[in-house]
Amino acid sequence: MKRLFFLITALLPTLAFAQTATKNFTINGKAGIVTTPAWAYLFYQVGANKVVDSALVINGNFIITGNIPVPSNALLVIDHKGTGIAKLGNTPDLLNLWLDKGTTNVTTDKDLIKDAAITGSVINDDNKSLTQQLAPINNEAKKLNDEKNATSQSQQNTPQFQHDMQTRYKTLQDKQHNVFKTFITAHPASFISLIVINMMGKQGADPAEMETLFNGLETPIKDMEVARVLKSSIDESKVTAIGSIAPDFTQPDVNGAPVKLSSFRGKYLLLDFWASWCGPCRAENPNVVKAYTKYKDKNFTILGVSLDRPDGKADWQKAIKSDGLSWTQVSDLKYGDNQAAALYFVQAIPSNFLLDPDGKIIAKNLRGSDLDDKLAELFGK
């Protein structure tokens, strides 16, 4: 049960809301020849509350009703033997769907609900459309991961391999980004578009671009409480948009001495958020070292900000030495509550910001060859 709710939490947008108006929903199910003692369970979340609704399956039919304040992601699970939630096991027969007002039909001629078609629901139609557009990209990503996992660890550690992987991952990210933009523009009345804009923000999308996409949504969507929360976060993220002056902060270095961001004024500065426990960060570090070595004598330096845990100082220092990070490193050792990361709305690492000598942000999230290309543009090859 905890695992099922973990899956839902992973799928839900992290948008807090205080909306109280309810929307009545009905799930009208037909699951082949499944019958009693089978039960259908619907797992979903309303705000911070975890909800489980259920219905007995009779001759393959079941109906589940409920109330939600806003559309919600859910998991529909069939307990074929009627043994109860606690005995569903690690691989239950489940279907991911969206709940919204009105009736949603879930139908399959087979016994497994995971094979069911979802009809009668605009939000699920929109989600299906987006999923189909992303499928080729997800397949490419899986092949790339399989290729990486089939490579020896020693080969994975080489700068050339990491550079190639980063370049290929970046290509897939760009494809995904374009699918997101196209979908949002084509579906201005869809709640899924709101979710996608939120996802783009977590992936470091430009706030100005997010604002343009948000403004293109139809009024009923923009008037939702969750939409107002998203708009507020977009406005806040403009603080670290390209062209903005980087917010100042002070954090202790490895020796406990305070280091102020603004003390680096006069140089181009890469503000690099990472952590010793972060695999992608450690994989990217050789690229950052290469850039530092190449351009450190050309009015360029780096300030590393680690999101290591309160008990992780030794690991942080060990990673600095192991990865050859010879520039200034700071951290308040507050893990996900790192104050500098919060100031810059960093929600995933590695993440970085390139500042000009005046402290203005001129680029963000430069990885792999993108970092070298941008620095070559500034300083010459």
Region of poorest pLDDT, from 151-160, 230-239, 325-334: 151-160
- For residue 10, give Cα distances in angstroms to 132, 152, 186, 357: 20, 31, 26, 40
Task: Name the H helices within 115-244.
Answer: 122-149, 153-156, 159-186, 191-202, 207-215, 219-222, 225-237
pLDDT at 7: 46
Distance CA 100, CA 55 (A): 19
Q: Given pLDDT bands bounded at 50, 70 and 90, which one contains residue 22? A: low
What is the architecture, at CATH level 2, of domain 2-117?
Answer: Sandwich (2.60)
pLDDT digits (tens, 9 = 90+) for 262-317: 999 999 999 999 999 998 899 899 999 999 999 999 999 999 999 999 999 999 99
Nearest to 166 by CA among 302, 329, 288: 288
pLDDT at 368: 80
Q: Taking residues 60-88, what's their average pLDDT?
A: 92
Q: Where in the chain is the domain with CATH 2.60.40?
A: 2-117
Q: Given pLDDT bands bounded at 50, 70 and 90, which one contains residue 4? A: very low
pLDDT over threshold 60, residue 16: no
Q: Where in the chain is the domain with CATH 3.40.30.10?
A: 250-379
In DSSP notation, 300-350 reads EEEEEEE---TT-HHHHHHHHHHHT--SEEE----GGG-HHHHHTT--SSS
Q: Could you tell me how far CA 193 lies from the centroid of its own chain?
A: 15
pLDDT digits (tens, 9 = 90+) for 33-52: 888 899 999 999 887 788 99
For 256, residues 6+ apart whose C-beta sits below 8 A from its C-beta are none
Residues 356 and 332 sit within 8 Å (Cβ to Cβ): no
What is the architecture, at CATH level 2, of domain 250-379?
Answer: 3-Layer(aba) Sandwich (3.40)
pLDDT at 34: 86
DSSP state of 299: T
pLDDT at 323: 96
pLDDT digits (tens, 9 = 90+) for 97-142: 999 999 999 999 988 999 999 999 999 999 999 999 999 999 999 9
pLDDT at 157: 75
Region of poorest pLDDT, from 81-85, 172-176, 204-208: 204-208
